[in-house]
């Protein structure tokens, strides 16, 4: 509350707005097919941004829920985008099965989250498992499947996504989580700005690029 009595973590709040702005622009300029699954992916990413703003503004239990639950939803929506594409190539009727299965999975995720919210490590492990699955699944699409002229673009998007999420974003997230105290004097000099803002930019860009891979 150094800058405002209404905003607990000022820098983490404004940097969270990037996670709202990027998919908002994507909805208008980077969604040429206008398919429901990709529109949904952008909307869920915007919800993640709004949840992150709520968390860093209030530091409340509700804010934590609104920040973490949509992250689980985002992974499932990406699964849906991939599986729906496969189902359409085989049989149109399978698309509805995929959609309802993913919806059921989202409901289960949410219910389980409320049961284990206090066990943060369980949430992190579940989330990371889905992220790694997405990373390897999209790697197969970009590097092993024949995508013709789009292959080069897909590979660049995948590499950029991994760079932002794994190499940059996850590294600074770990520093922010487990090496906060040694860096505190530098954070104070920067007016409370921490490594966490880089995580917001890195994770937001990586997710956006993953959606773009699936659109291409």
What are the pLDDT digits (tens) for 123-156? 888 899 999 999 999 999 888 887 778 889 999 9
Average pLDDT, the chain: 88
What is the pLDDT, as a whole number, of residue 99?
A: 87
Q: Can you give the pTM of this predicted structure? A: 0.90
Q: Within the chain, how many helices (H) and strands (E) appear?
A: 9, 0
Confidence of residue 200 (pLDDT cuts 50, 70, 90): very high
What is the pLDDT, as a whole number, of residue 88?
A: 54
What is the pLDDT, as a whole number, of residue 63?
A: 92
What is the pLDDT, as a whole number, of residue 30?
A: 87
Angle of CA points 69, 136, 141, to nearest 5°: 110
What is the pLDDT, as a whole number, of residue 92?
A: 56
Confidence of residue 187 (pLDDT cuts 50, 70, 90): confident
Going by C-alpha positions, the residue among 104, 85, 92, 79 that lies closest to residue 33 is 85
What is the rounded CA–CA span in Å between residue 184 and residue 106? 38
What are the pLDDT digits (tens) for 28-77? 888 888 889 999 999 999 999 999 999 999 999 899 999 999 999 999 99
What are the pLDDT digits (tens) for 105-126? 999 999 989 888 777 888 888 8
What is the rounded CA–CA span in Å between residue 182 and residue 23? 35
């Amino acid at each position: 509350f150094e800058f405002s009595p209404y905003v607990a973590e000022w820098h983490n709040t404004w940097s969270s707005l990037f996670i709202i702005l990027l998919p908002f622009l994507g909805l208008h300029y980077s969604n040429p097919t206008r398919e429901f699954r990709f529109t949904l992916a952008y909307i869920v990413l915007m919800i993640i941004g709004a949840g992150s703003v709520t968390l860093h503004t209030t530091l409340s239990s509700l804010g934590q829920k609104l920040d973490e639950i949509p992250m689980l939803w985002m992974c499932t929506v990406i699964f849906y985008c991939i599986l729906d594409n496969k189902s359409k190539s085989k049989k149109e009727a399978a698309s509805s099965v995929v959609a309802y299965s993913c919806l059921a999975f989202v409901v289960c995720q949410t219910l389980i989250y409320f049961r284990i919210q206090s066990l943060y490590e369980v949430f992190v492990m579940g989330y990371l498992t889905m992220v790694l699955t997405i990373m390897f699944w999209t790697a197969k699409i970009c590097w092993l499947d024949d995508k013709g002229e789009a292959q080069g673009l897909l590979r660049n998007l995948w590499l950029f996504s991994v760079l932002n999420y794994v190499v940059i974003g996850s590294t600074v997230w770990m520093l922010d989580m487990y090496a906060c105290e040694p860096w505190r004097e530098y954070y104070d000099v920067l007016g409370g700005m921490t490594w966490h803002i880089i995580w917001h930019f890195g994770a937001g860009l990586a997710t956006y690029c993953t959606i773009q891979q699936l659109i291409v």
